[in-house]
């Protein structure tokens, strides 16, 4: 049995006719930039996230970086984020002119509030919790720290659309929530895209200009800015996909619980849900001491797995100027050697999940008996 890591073709096949109708309609109407479909999508997305506003941008990295610029974060400022995230969490801070400062994570891959506190300096302007793997970060703690030190909170929600913390959707806690619509994310466009959520009216109006050349109307430019809009065509496709999102999210959670059930007897570290959260399983990451061997074993059995991410951000060549060293973030560094992402996408079948778990168990059994001898 073959188990791919994702199957984007399959996901689109079921709604293909509807998507094609939309493309055809848009070719006729010629509404390509900042059209009605984008406005409709933004309204629905804000509603979904429990915020007053949402605005589409060109990608998730721009969502982060434009938000920080619009909030006035600049050179000399520091923003605290997680070193185990996708690199764009940090690069966006640099691109906004500020300095990324890392704080280590906990066993659940999410920012450790105690480590965040220790990373605060007089230059700290914001905290960027990353809801990595689709699990909400400890937002009570993040908000408390932010209040105490008068910091902004920029949520990196790229992996976590529809995730909830204490019954409240991510993207509604910080000054802004930044989402990616990259094809591999839980809600995606057919290309690149991103969304920003906020309930701050002034910030919203600043962002509307920031994504559109700094224009305040058709002819008048208030400040030089970027061209980073979400295509109306992509938004129109999203309006169809949004209807499917609850079903897709439910299936991701179902897949995760099936994995948990079938892997709970092993000595692997597996993700656990907390009653106070709803995780949406962008990834399902297990931890195994013999990770590379397990990955190869799965590949030999035609099961695709990935590592998110093998090289922590602070050890990337691009981050050298920040002066971090190996050993600075022990939890992140240890996890980078043991983590393995198993396939989790809505169209994955129960048979495939069981096959993955059987194969993992087959890999582990010889070692567990060796341990007994
Ligand atoms: C994907 C991702 C981003 C960047 O989004 P793009 O749309 O690829 O620019 C940022 N942060 C995290 C955690 C991500 O997973």
From 190, 221, 239, give the residue that closes a domain.
239
* Domain match, 102 and 195 both: yes
pLDDT of residue 373: 45
From 194, 222, 239, give the residue that closes a domain.
239
For residue 210, tell me if it sits in a domain: yes
For residue 296, tell me if it sits in a domain: yes
| pTM for the predicted model, two decimal places | 0.97
For residue 2, tell me if it sits in a domain: no
* Domain match, 156 and 257 both: no
- Give one DSSP letter per residue of 77-94, joined into a string: -EEEE-TTS-THHHHHHH
pLDDT of residue 255: 98
Those residues whose C-beta lies under 8 Å from the C-beta of residue 327, and which sit 6 or more positions away, are 333
* Domain match, 44 and 94 both: yes
For residue 1, tell me if it sits in a domain: no
313 ligand 1 Cβ < 6 A: no
pLDDT of residue 63: 98
For residue 326, tell me if it sits in a domain: yes
pLDDT of residue 273: 94
- Which is it for strands 78-81 and 99-102: parallel, antiparallel or unpaired? parallel
Query: How much distance in Å is there from the Cα of 105 to the middle of ligand 1?
Result: 18
Can you tell me whether residue 182 is helix, strand or coil? coil
For residue 158, cis peptide bond before it (omega within 30 degrees of 0): no
* Domain match, 32 and 152 both: yes
89 ligand 1 Cβ < 6 A: yes
For residue 351, tell me if it sits in a domain: yes
Query: How much distance in Å is there from the Cα of 167 to the middle of ligand 1?
Result: 24
From 207, 239, 271, give the residue that closes a domain.
239
85 ligand 1 Cβ < 6 A: yes
Residue 155: CA atoms inside 13 Å, Cβ hemisphere, count?
Answer: 33
92 ligand 1 Cβ < 6 A: no
Give the strands of the sheet with 164-165, arranged side by side.
168-169, 164-165, 277-278
* Domain match, 224 and 262 both: no
Give the structural domain span for 344: 245-372
Rounded CA-CA distance 63/195 in Å is 6
Locate the ligand 1 atom nearest the alpha carbon of residue 132 and give its number: 13
327: phi > 0 → left, psi -120 to 50 → alpha, else beta; which? Answer: left
* Domain match, 270 and 141 both: no
Rounded CA-CA distance 76/219 in Å is 33
Total number of domains in the chain:
2
Residue numbers of the chain with a pLDDT score lower than 70:
367-373
For residue 3, tell me if it sits in a domain: no
* Domain match, 315 and 184 both: no
**Which of these, 256, 289, 244, 252, lies nearest to 13 by C-alpha position?**
244
* Domain match, 214 and 76 both: yes
* Domain match, 252 and 145 both: no
158 ligand 1 Cβ < 6 A: yes
179 ligand 1 Cβ < 6 A: no
**Which of these, 122, 126, 104, 121, lies nearest to 174 by C-alpha position?**
126
- CATH number of residue 308's parent domain: 3.90.1150.10
For residue 146, tell me if it sits in a domain: yes
* Domain match, 230 and 84 both: yes
pLDDT of residue 100: 98
* Domain match, 81 and 194 both: yes
Can you tell me whether residue 112 is helix, strand or coil? coil
pLDDT of residue 11: 87
Query: How much distance in Å is there from the Cα of 84 to the middle of ligand 1?
Result: 13
Query: How much distance in Å is there from the Cα of 362 to the middle of ligand 1?
Result: 34
pLDDT of residue 370: 54
* Domain match, 298 and 337 both: yes
- CATH number of residue 194's parent domain: 3.40.640.10
């Amino acid at each position: 049995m073959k188990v791919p890591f994702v199957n984007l073709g399959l996901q689109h096949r079921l709604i293909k006719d509807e998507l094609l109708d939309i493309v055809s309609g848009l070719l006729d109407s010629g509404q390509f930039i900042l059209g009605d479909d984008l406005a409709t999508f933004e309204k629905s997305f804000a509603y979904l996230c429990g915020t007053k506003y949402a605005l589409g941008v060109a990608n998730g990295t721009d969502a982060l970086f434009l938000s920080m610029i619009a909030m006035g974060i600049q050179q000399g400022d520091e923003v605290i984020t997680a070193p185990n995230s996708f690199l764009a969490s940090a690069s966006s801070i640099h691109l906004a002119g500020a300095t990324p400062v890392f704080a280590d994570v906990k066993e659940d891959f999410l920012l450790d509030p105690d480590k965040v506190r220790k990373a605060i300096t007089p230059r700290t302007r914001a905290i960027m919790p990353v809801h990595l793997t689709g699990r909400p970060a400890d937002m009570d703690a993040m908000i408390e720290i932010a209040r105490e030190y008068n910091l902004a909170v920029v949520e990196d929600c790229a992996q976590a659309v529809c995730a909830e913390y204490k019954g409240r959707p991510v993207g509604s806690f910080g000054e802004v929530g930044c989402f990616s619509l990259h094809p591999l994310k839980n809600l995606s466009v057919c290309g690149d895209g991103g969304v920003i959520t906020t309930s701050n009216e002034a910030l919203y109006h600043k962002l509307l200009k920031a994504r559109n050349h700094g224009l305040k109307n058709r002819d008048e430019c208030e400040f030089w800015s970027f061209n980073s809009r979400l295509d109306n065509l992509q938004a129109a496709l999203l309006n169809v996909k949004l209807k499917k999102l609850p079903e897709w999210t439910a299936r991701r959670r179902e897949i995760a619980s099936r994995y948990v059930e079938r892997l709970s007897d092993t000595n692997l570290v597996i993700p656990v849900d907390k009653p106070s959260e709803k995780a949406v399983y962008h990834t399902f990451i297990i931890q195994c001491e013999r990770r590379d061997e397990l990955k190869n074993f799965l590949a030999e059995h035609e099961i695709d797995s990935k590592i998110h991410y093998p090289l922590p951000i602070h050890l990337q060549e691009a981050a050298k100027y920040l002066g971090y060293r190996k050993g600075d973030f022990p939890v992140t560094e240890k996890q980078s050697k043991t983590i393995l992402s198993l396939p989790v996408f809505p169209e994955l079948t129960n048979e495939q999940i069981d096959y993955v778990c059987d194969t993992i168990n087959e890999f582990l059994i010889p070692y567990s008996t060796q341990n007994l001898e």
